[in-house]
Amino acid sequence: MKNEEMNLEEEQTESEELYEKLVIIIDKGQDPLRIDKFLMSRIEGATRNKIQQAIDDEMVLVNDKTIKNNYKVKPADKVVVFTSHAPESSDIVPENIPLNIAYEDDAILIINKPAGMVVHPGSGNPGGTLVNGVAYYLKQQNPVLDENELSRFGLVHRIDKNTSGLLVMAKNQKAMTDLAKQFFNHTVHRRYMALVWGDFDKDEGTIVAHVGRHQRFRKTFTAYPDGDHGKDAITHYKVLERFNYVTLVECRLETGRTHQIRVHMQLIGHPLFNDDTYGGDKIVKGTVFTRYKQFVENCFELCQRQALHAKELGFVHPVTRKPVHFESELPGDMQAVIEKWRKYIIAK
């Protein structure tokens, strides 16, 4: 289901989380009306079948409670609809793409995504994505799986193409609904490792600034500290290791806006190392003398993307209701560039 006020192409890149929440407060003069009929009049393109399916999937709440399809709205009711802007399953073609699966059970799949892999098909990336690979993997497990069944398997969040690390996918609608709500309520634990330019005055801190599309350069994002554009975004950071010119930090997300860590670090003067979108692909700290410049260029060659890795992911399991926690090692390119900086500082 799609929010009537949502520009789909814009919204697909506004958040790493693939669900938004539409909240409607019923007017005082509203006559009793079945919830499905009411929502059909309020959500563009919504059909009765889609709304009823969303109600069955517990993606529609009234006064914070699940309801039946025959519920009649009344004045002052608060209706909440979770709307997805994940790709439609009919667009997904199974492709034989290797996957690094960190964990799997009947409800969830944890994948360690390599840098360079797009999560799902979109403009400019019709195939070759992680989702295409997952569709193939599922079909190999169960060859009789049809498109309708594949549609019950879904994304609830994503990470950038050139960011490596963990993400979770749901293997059925119940798990997807539960995980989507956890992401939306900011109860999912996400910790990233980043190599950034410059040294920090403090060992830890918090960055609070809205993140949204750049008003002029629409393919990039920027921070809006005054909150006049974009969506609220909060990043907590902690220094792990200092190399004078660059610093290894961990970042914990409260929110999941697109490019959030990259934009927030640029805001405070510490762009990610070799981030060619936000100014980290040139010498930000240090001299431009030949030896140092050559050293930095060698580092760029070792890690040919922004040095960002989604290292930890934790949430409440949608079936067992027990906390689960997953970790992944830093990939080889980041390990290599960090070790090169260590040796460079020791040698000085």
Domain ranges of the chain: 19-84, 89-184, 189-347
Stated pTM of the model: 0.85
3-class SS letters over the chain: CCCCCCCHHHHCCCECECEEEEEEECCCCCCCEEHHHHHHHHCCCCCHHHHHHHHHCCCEEECCEECCCCCEECCCCEEEEEEECCCCHHHCCCCCCCCCEEEECCCEEEEEECCCCCCCCECCECCCCHHHHHHHHHHHHCCCCCHHHHCCCEECECCCCCCEEEEEEECCHHHHHHHHHHHHCCCCEEEEEEEEECCCCCCEEEEECEEEECCCCCCCEEEECCCCCCECCEEEEEEEEECCCEEEEEEEECCCECCHHHHHHHHCCCCECCCCCCCCCCCCCCCCCHHHHHHHHHHHHHCCCCCEEEEEEEEECCCCCCEEEEECCCCHHHHHHHHHHHHHHHHC
Task: Label residue 82 by pLDDT band (50, 70, 90).
Answer: confident
Q: Check residue 44 and give its pLDDT.
A: 79
Q: 89-184 and 189-347 share one CATH topology?
A: yes
More confidently predicted of 59 and 282: 282
Q: Check residue 16 and give its pLDDT.
A: 62
Region 89-184: CATH code: 3.30.2350.10
Query: Looking at domain 189-347, what is its CATH homologous superfamily?
Result: Pseudouridine synthase (3.30.2350.10)
Q: What pLDDT digit, counting tens, does each position of 201-234 carry?
A: 999 999 999 998 888 887 899 999 988 888 899 9
Q: What pLDDT digit, counting tens, does each position of 328-337 carry?
A: 999 999 999 9
Query: Which residues are known to be catalytic?
Result: 160
Region 19-84: CATH code: 3.10.290.10
